[in-house]
Amino acid sequence: MYKNFTVISCRLSSCNFSKIALVMKLTGIILMTVILQVSASTYAQKITLHVKNAALQDILLDIQQQSGYDFLYSSDLLKSAKPITLSVTDAAVKEVIEECLKDQPFSYFINKQIVTIKPKDRLVQAPAVPINITGSVTDTKGEPLPGVNVLEKGTQNGTVTTANGNYSLKVTDANAVLVFSFVGFTTQEIKVGAQTAINVQLKETVNALTEMVVVGYGVQKKVSLTGAVSSITGAQVTTTRNESVLNMLTGKLPGVRVVQNSAEPGAFSNSFDIRGMGSPLVVIDGVPRPGIERLDPNDIESISVLKDASAAVYGVQAANGVILVTTKKGKAGTSQITYTVDAGLQHQSGLQTVLDATDYMTLINEKTRHNVNNPTTPLIYSPENFADFAPGGSKQSTDWYHAVFRQTAPQSEHNLSASGGTDKVTYFMSLGYLTQQGFYLSGASNYHKYNMRSNVSAQVAKGLTADLQLAYISDTRNQPSTDPSNIFGDVFRNPPIYSPYAGDAGNHYSYFGDNGVNAVAYSDPDASGYRTSNQKLLQTTFALNYNVPFIPGLKAKGLYSYNNTFIDSKNYNRQFDTYQAKPDGTYSIVSQQSPTSIVRNYSNAPTTLLQYSLNYVRTFNQVHNIDVLALYEEGTSQGDGFGGTRYVAISTLDQFGAGGNVGARLQTPSGGFPSSSATRSMVGKIHYDFKSKYLVDLGGRRDGSSRFAPSNQYGFFPAASAAWRLSEENFIKNAKSLSFIDNLKIRASYGSTGDASALNYQFISGYDYPGQNGNQQTRAQGYVFDGNYITDVGFRVIPNVDITWYKAKTLDFGVDAEFWHGLFGFTFDYFNRNRTGLLGTQVLSVPGTLGASLPQVNINSDQTRGLELELTHRNTIGKVHYELTGNISYTRTKNLHVDRAVAGNSYDNWLNNVNNRYNDVWFGYTGDGRFNNFGDIYNATVNYGGGNRATLPGDYKYLDWNGDGTINIGTTAGQSDAHPVAATYNGTNVGGTSTANPPLINFGLNMAVQYASFDMNALFQGAAAKWIAFNDFSLNPLQFNGNALSYFLDRWHPADPNANFYDPHTVYIAGTHAVTGTSPDVNSTYNIQNASYVRLKTLELGYTLPGNLTKKAGIQRLRIYLSGYNLFTVTGVKYFDPEHPSSNYTNSYPLSKTYNIGANVTF
């Protein structure tokens, strides 16, 4: 809705007529000044007016404010108006207007709510031989533009376009030039020539001065913002084509970090945060809701990001910032149907292939011989084995990679929307469908999503509108029965010397013991079953908006929202047989996944939100602008779920109800304890500015939540911010040398927010039932009595009644500037967020003899600081209009206090005391070159273990950091030679491997170019100051008894495979990797790689077909485009995509490169 504010609104700003007239004169455009108010807000239909000898202009303003009617006129024209004396009460709008204009020296007409005032006599002075021109005016998206001034240049002959954007004008002759102008759009002149039909497309002027942005509980002019708020429009979102909205934001919003972890259909696996602050609150259409990633991007009007104290109005949910998503609404006076279609082809990005049989056997033999205690141990694979796999040999090597995966997978998306409205009702309705296929050859992985939305707003009584927003997203995700990490792991593990199928048995999957399970079988749902998950999101809002009579500017609002997320999943683990050939030619059968099990889970999570607010917006004395909001909000959220497992005897039946249970294997229900929580909050906001020059915002929220102990239920989160627009000061305005400055603002904000997401009822005594901290594999949540499993009670931590949310205090300094009408602009921010009261346990100080778990206490603190810079450049050269937007942000978090026991010694303190240290310091070992030959080894001054007895040429040397002559390499930091070697270590080890935080530096550069009917959009996006480490298959060849990734073939090895590896006369061939069997330490600089990268995230080329061509087919506008995602990447990371998650570096579903073709059609 706010988008309609892109023209000056008298209601909201300090505009005054004469100033605007002046501005317009300066632009050199002669006549028409438009004061247009097309807010969809509704107004009284009755006018009360008591004036005496008042200027018509003032009266029209009054009428406009009371009624919402808009007036189009030239200010010169009104100079001739007679003063008016009038006294009416609750009179009809039209009557009052007619009364005011009836004896004036001009004529007028009223179309819908637009009153156009024209000179009286000009209309009759039409040219003697006129040419009648007709046509339509649209914006760049093909949407009709009503109210556009169409003027014959150098005359006062003109008209305005109708609601459909059509116009008709008689001009003097063929030499006439038509001038099309509209506030917010670039004026265009077209020579009539021989044409009688002239269709015009006006380009929006992106003008920071008039742009509105959505902020917490309201909208605000961008220039009057005092906080750090970034925003993009829906159109900017959809320039990137991807299945997830989050991936479409990458690189576009300064300070928003998005990392894609997987392109698996339906996984929506992203890490994303604002300024490195953790998981942000997402508010969709004013209500905190899940599912931003699943939204149809075509439904999105805009996305705003509150990065500083401006988020404080969201209180205890806002410590990590807030993302506000607004969906589209209809526009009064328009009606259009838009169809968007997009088809794409995904390619795997950066996944590695595996060795063939010969190379595999070679590496196995090398690893066997790489044994200092038995350097002449017999080779496992004999020349006969090699001969079998040689060309023409008896056996065929298996390429497991290509046996399981396909190289490309299609995806497509459709969206059909209808929007428009009348002065009473506006609507936006859409239906979308998205389908995405995965990379398994079996087709086991795919995703389907349907989404529907209806945003309807109706004026139901005088001054009262009712809004109903309904959104429904239903999706289905299909997968093989086992995780992709298992299948990818098995592809890397299954030896190429085995066929996927045993012997000649064809459909008999082979079994090969300790070398992983058959990846072909496990990726095939016909063999191993499948997993399917349905998620349904229902998001509804009903709202009433009321313009309180008698108090201009006061609005009351009531809103009720109901949302629910239903998840319904099924996991069918089908039993199937694998076959292992025995020497005698028969097969032994090993059943997999025995017995067949079917797991069903169902859950729903309803939430409600109720809101009342009063909002008062007024300008006093044309210089004091105030906007005050008082809001009460209460919400509830519930969660309930139920799941069961059933083991069925007939493996081909994939239904939960199929057959009885197998043996003693009963279904195991889980869940069934509904959770419930509630909140009550009060929000207050005051905005004041003086002439848009000095701006102040004060806000705060009192938040109450059932998640806290009764004594601690409420918290208050205030914020204040202020800005000074230097560009409004006379010393800039009046200085000719500074006339290039369009906008220059400095701003500062400070506020308090909180976060309670980690709290888990630690203030309540009692017992968990059922117990929480067990599993079948270790200590269970129960015990078996009489052969029956009895669920236990769980002992809770010792209650901490003082536990509360942590508090974050956010400081932000910023500068916004725009020069030379957009030729150069920038926004710069410095921010600092201090968090106190982070949860920690004092486990290191209380003896274990307590016999109970300690509660968390609010004890730790940290600090996140960073910088953001956004640069913009807009220009038009000839017919080429282009825009460049670049942003870069840096953020890093430092621990301030982390509770710990006093270190036993200074070394322990240095190593483990993380107080006042960045939270991402990566301890490891620095590489010190390689052993190039046996001479190097014999002359080594550092002992790498065993007196370097087992060391071979090609092995890794490490820096002896403490200089003691020995190196102890270990997989965990803490060895004596470990020292900081990199950053972005996130403090956890997964499977012995350090995992990494998102990059410290993120940047994006967006280029949009328009030339005639062609448009191009390119987004370069990247990251720096990010390190990753390989593990498992990517670090070690032949990991887990398995195969090796192809790149390990480039390794040190003896020229003669039969040589004694430890014989100093053995001739070695050098390679990138050490002799098979030696891998670098996981936390060494050999393995930690700088994962900085730049990639062409998006490239889109569009062409809009000529309107006169498409109109014949009844199509207003038709644009076709070619688009690509992740097209190319420049990075130092070897072998893998740099965005691939570090924690599970190899065997996870890869990212994709996507090539798309699509069209937007507007009817």
Partner 1 sequence: MKKIFYLFTVLVILASCNKLNIQPNSIIQNNDIYSTPAGIQAYMADLYSYLPIEDFKYSTQASGSEGDGGFNQFSFIQNLNMFTGEEVNREVNSEGNASDNTRYWASAYTLIRNATIFINTLPQYKSNYTTAQVNAWLGEARFLRAYTYFALVKRYGGVPLITDVAEPDKLQLPRNSEQEIWDYVCNELTEAINLLPATSENRGRANKYIAAGILSRVGLYAGSIAKYNTIAKADPATGKRVLGIPNTEAVRYFKLSYNAALTVASGPYSLYRAVPDKAQNFYNLFFDVSAANKEVLMFKEYSLSNVVHSFDVFAIPTQMQGPNGYSSYMNPTLDWVELFEGLPRNPDGTLKTVDASTGKFAYYDTPADFFKNAEPRLLGSVLVPGATFKNQAIDVRRGIYTGDISNGIAPFSGSLPPYPVVTNPYPASAGISAATNKNGDPAVTLPDGSKLQSGGASGEFSSRDQGTITGFHQRKFLNESYTASQVLINGCTQPWVELRYAEVELNRAEAALELSALGDGGADYKQDALTMINDIRDRAGATLLTDVGALSDINVVRNERRKELGFENKIFWDIKRWRTADIEINNRVWFVLNPIYVAANGKYIMDKRKYEGNSIFTFNVNQYYEAIPTVEIGKDPKLIDNSY
Which of the residues 650 through 679 are near partner 1 (CB under 8 A)?
664-665, 668, 673-679
For 1066, residues 6+ apart whose C-beta sits below 8 A from its C-beta are 1054, 1055, 1056, 1059, 1060
Whichever of 261 and 651 has its CB closer to partner 1, that residue is 651
For residues 273 and 919, give the distance between their C-alpha atoms in angstroms, rounded to a whole number. 16
Q: How far apart are the first and last CA of the chain?
A: 22
Residue 653 Cβ vs partner 1, minimum distance, rounded to whole Å: 18
The whole-angstrom distance between residue 1039's C-alpha and the CA centroid of its chain comes to: 35
Site string for partner 1, 956-975 (x = CB under 8 A): --------------------
Task: Write the DSSP symbol of residue 1132.
Answer: S
Q: Which is nearer to partner 1, 558 or 980 (CB)?
A: 558
| Region from 81-89, 252-260, 719-727, 775-783 binding partner 1, contact rule CB under 8 A | 775-783
Sites for partner 1 among residues 1041-1070 (CB under 8 A): 1041
Task: Locate all alpha helices (DSSP H) within 417-540, ordered by sequence.
Answer: 484-493, 519-522, 525-528
Which of 752, 768, 607 lies closest to 677, judged by CA? 607
Pick out residues in 151-190 that bind partner 1 (CB under 8 A).
none
Q: Is 368 helix (H, G, I), strand (E, B) or coil?
A: helix
Point out which span in 551-559, 736-744, 973-981, 1155-1163 binds partner 1 (CB under 8 A): 551-559
Stretch that binds partner 1, among 29-37, 341-349, 380-388, 912-920 (CB under 8 A): 380-388
Token readout for 986 is 């996130």
CB of 767 to partner 1, least distance (A): 5
What tokens were used for 415?
Answer: 């969206």
Strand partners, 895: 862, 917
Q: Which is nearer to partner 1, 612 or 828 (CB)?
A: 612
- Cβ proximity to partner 1, 614 vs 1115, nearer residue: 614
Query: For partner 1, which residue of 123, 174, 461, 623 counts as binding (CB under 8 A)?
Result: 461
Nearer to partner 1, 845 or 1013 (CB): 845
Quote the least distance from Cβ 704 to partner 1, whole Å.
5
In our burial notation (b when 16+ CB lie closer than 10 A, e otherwise), range 448-474 reads bbbbebbbbbbbeeebebbbebebebb
Please, where are the H alpha helices in 127-270? 234-237, 245-249
| Of the candidate residues 113, 575, 1002, 1039, the single one contacting partner 1 (CB under 8 A) | 575
Q: Is 698 exposed, middle or buried (0-12, 13-18, 19+ CB in 10 A)?
A: middle
Question: What part of residues 826-865 is at the interface with partner 1 (CB under 8 A)?
Answer: 844-852, 854
**According to CB under 8 A, which one of 22, 174, 901, 1070 is a site residue for partner 1?**
901
For tokens 């993302």, the residue is 323
The one among 466, 867, 940, 1024 contacting partner 1 by CB under 8 A: 466
Rounded Cα–Cα distance for residues 181 and 189 (Å):
9
Question: Which residues in 213-232 contact partner 1 (CB under 8 A)?
Answer: none
Residue number with CB closer to partner 1 (684 or 771): 771
Within 610-639, the residues that bind partner 1 by CB under 8 A are 610, 612, 634-636
Minimum gap (Å) between residue 501 Cβ and partner 1: 17
Per the DSSP assignment, residues forming a β-bridge with 687 are: 627, 697
Write a three-state SS string for 544-598: EEEECCCCCCEEEEEEEEEEEEEEEEEEEECCEEEEEECCCCCEEEEEECCCCEE
Residue window 503-542: x/- pattern of binding to partner 1, with contact defined by CB under 8 A: --------x-xx--x-------------------------
Smallest distance, partner 1 to C-beta of residue 690, A: 35
Q: Strand order in 70-73's β-sheet?
A: 33-35, 70-73, 114-119, 106-111
Nearest to 303 by CA among 250, 239, 253: 253
Decide whether 506 or 851 has the Cβ nearer to partner 1. Answer: 851
- Answer yes or no whether residue 778 interacts with partner 1 by CB under 8 A: yes
Q: How far is the CB of 990 from partner 1 (least distance, A)?
A: 15
Closer CB to partner 1, residue 307 or residue 796? 796
For 808-830, letters b (16+ CB in 10 Å) and e give bbbbbbbbbbbbeebebbbbbbb
Q: How many residues line the site for partner 1 (CB under 8 A)?
A: 101
Contact status: 385 vs partner 1 (CB under 8 A): yes
Enter the DSSP assignment of 312: G
Nearer to partner 1, 402 or 779 (CB): 779
| 949 forms part of the interface with partner 1 (CB under 8 A) | no
Contacts of 344 (CB under 8 A, 6+ apart): 241, 410, 411, 412, 413, 1123, 1125, 1154, 1155, 1156, 1157
Q: Which stretch binds partner 1 (CB under 8 A): 70-78, 210-218, 398-406, 460-468?
A: 460-468
Residue choice 460, 650, 823, 1113 for contact with partner 1 (CB under 8 A): 460
Dihedral of the CA atoms 311, 315, 319, 323 (nearest 10)? Answer: -40
Residue 776 lies near partner 1 (rule: CB under 8 A): yes
Q: Closer to partner 1 by CB, 64 or 645: give it.
A: 645
Gap between the Cα atoms of 798 and 762, Å rounded? 8
The one-letter code for the residue type at 729 is E
Min separation Cβ 846 and partner 1, Å: 5
CB of 972 to partner 1, least distance (A): 11
Cα three-residue angle 972-973-978, rounded to 5 degrees = 135
Q: Report the alpha-carbon angle 119-149-81, nearest 5.
A: 25
Would the CA dihedral through 1108, 1113, 1115, 1120 be positive or negative? negative
Q: How far apart are CA 1079 and CA 467, in angstroms?
A: 63
- Interface stretch with partner 1, choices 706-714, 866-874, 986-994, 1088-1096 (CB under 8 A): 706-714
Cβ neighbours of residue 666 under 8 Å, at least 6 residues apart? none
Which residues, 788 to 817, sit near partner 1 by CB under 8 A?
A: 788-796, 798
Interaction residues for partner 1, span 903-922 (CB under 8 A): 904
DSSP bridge partners of 1122: 1101, 1157
Per CB under 8 A, the segment of 274-282, 297-305, 379-387, 397-405 that binds partner 1 is 379-387
State the minimum distance, in angstroms, from the CB of residue 578 to partner 1. 7
Among 787, 946, 963, 1114, binds partner 1 (CB under 8 A): 787
- Asked if 926 touches partner 1 (CB under 8 A), the answer is no
Does position 197 bind partner 1 by CB under 8 A? no
Pick the stretch among 26-34, 231-239, 701-709, 1073-1081 that binds partner 1 (CB under 8 A).
701-709
For residue 798, the minimal CB distance to partner 1 (Å) is 7
Of 12, 126, 1096, 147, residue with least CA distance to 618: 12
Answer for the pair 323, 289: CB distance below 8 angstroms, yes or no: no
Pick from 127, 782, 970, 1071: which binds partner 1 (CB under 8 A)? 782
Is 843 or 1070 the residue whose CB approaches partner 1 more closely?
A: 843
Out of 51, 649, 696, 780, which residue is the one contacting partner 1 (CB under 8 A)?
A: 780
Q: Whole-number minimum distance, CB 931 to partner 1, in Å?
A: 26
Which one, 441 or 556, has the nearer CB to partner 1?
Answer: 556
381, 389, 439, 488: which one binds partner 1 (CB under 8 A): 381
**Of the candidate residues 606, 704, 980, 1071, the single one contacting partner 1 (CB under 8 A):** 704
706 interacts with partner 1 by CB under 8 A: yes
Locate 1041 and state its tokens: 């008894």
Cα-flanking dihedrals φ and ψ of residue 597, to 5°?
Answer: -125, 150
